[in-house]
Amino acid sequence: MNESQLQTFLTVAEHKSYSKAAEALVVTQPTVTSRIKALEDILQCELFKRAGHEIFLTDAANMFMEYANNILTNIKHAKEISNMVKDPIIKVGFSPGYSYSFITELLKTVKSMGDIDIQVVEGHDSVSLNERASSGEIDIVFTRNPISDHSDIISEYLFDNNLMVLLPIDHYLCEKQTIHIEDLNEETILSFKRNSFLWKLIDQQLIKAQSVTRIDVDNNEMLLKAVANNIGIGIIPELGMDKRYTSEIKARKISDIYNIQNKVYVQYRNSSHVNHLAKKIIYAVINHKYTEEEKV
């Protein structure tokens, strides 16, 4: 008794016709007849009776229907065993501000690794992400602060993710070689996650700018679109800049903002299950960082 025989039996029972069952299963009618005959030999009973051109289920067939459905269901579940026993989902968390292109490159890297389930999470801020990593809720996190005094967590410094000022392509400040905070007087400043610790450091420097208008948006993508549409000037980490906007936005440095410390640390659980994947994801992050720098 095999899966094709059981499926053929149920299809004949549904259509009350060998020829229609053959059409539905995309096989020949003799194949359907052969499968039903083999099944009847195994069960040692007749499953269908003919009355003229019509086919009827025997009492044995009606009783066997439930068994056939249950067997096929169990076969389907058995085929899922390989998925059930493979490595569990890996959760990777990023602090806010990474661009669409950055996340896309990460996902391409994960896809190239093969049969791995992964969930990418954007955390509210670095502090909350580190707490979730320490509790075991997230396996790998990229944040601006290291996790210390935790024997189960490996923490590594990767690079600085300096802050850039983003300008619409036709903004007059694009022509200046050196930009100072005072040049932002009377400008509209775009931000997101302004209640974060990083933005508190930025605001301490922006005090020097006079009569600025402030707009806080929901996410990095919204900020980039707003700058591209001449709504204001944005301030984001370098890895927040998306290559899709290079024809509409120019990135510039203002020393007092650029020099605000914004490091990238990776933290991951110290286990063989996570270590191998973590190294590959770290490589993808580093590769994206320096590839994008070469394009600027």
* Residue 255, pLDDT score: 92
Same fold, 3-83 and 163-258: no
CA-CA-CA-CA torsion for 109, 111, 113, 119, nearest 10 degrees? 90
Task: Please identify every stretch of the chain with a pLDDT value under 70, giving residue numbers as ranges.
Answer: 80-88, 113-116, 292-296
* Residue 296, pLDDT score: 52
C-alpha atoms less than 13 angstroms from C-alpha of 263 in its C-beta half-sphere = 10
* Residue 292, pLDDT score: 63
Neighbours of 234 (CB within 10 A): 29
* Residue 222, pLDDT score: 93
Q: Which of 164, 165, 122, 128 has the alpha carbon at shortest distance from 145?
A: 128
CATH class given for the domain over 163-258: alpha beta
* Residue 81, pLDDT score: 65
User: Residue ranges of the domains in the chain?
Assistant: 3-83, 87-161+262-295, 163-258
In this structure, whether the domain defined by 3-83 belongs to CATH 1.10.287.130 is answered with: no
Which CATH fold would you assign to the domain 87-161+262-295? D-Maltodextrin-Binding Protein; domain 2 (3.40.190)
| Burial tier of 119 (Cβ tally within 10 Å: 0-12, 13-18, 19+) | exposed
Type of residue found at 148: S
* Residue 235, pLDDT score: 94
Neighbours of 233 (CB within 10 A): 21
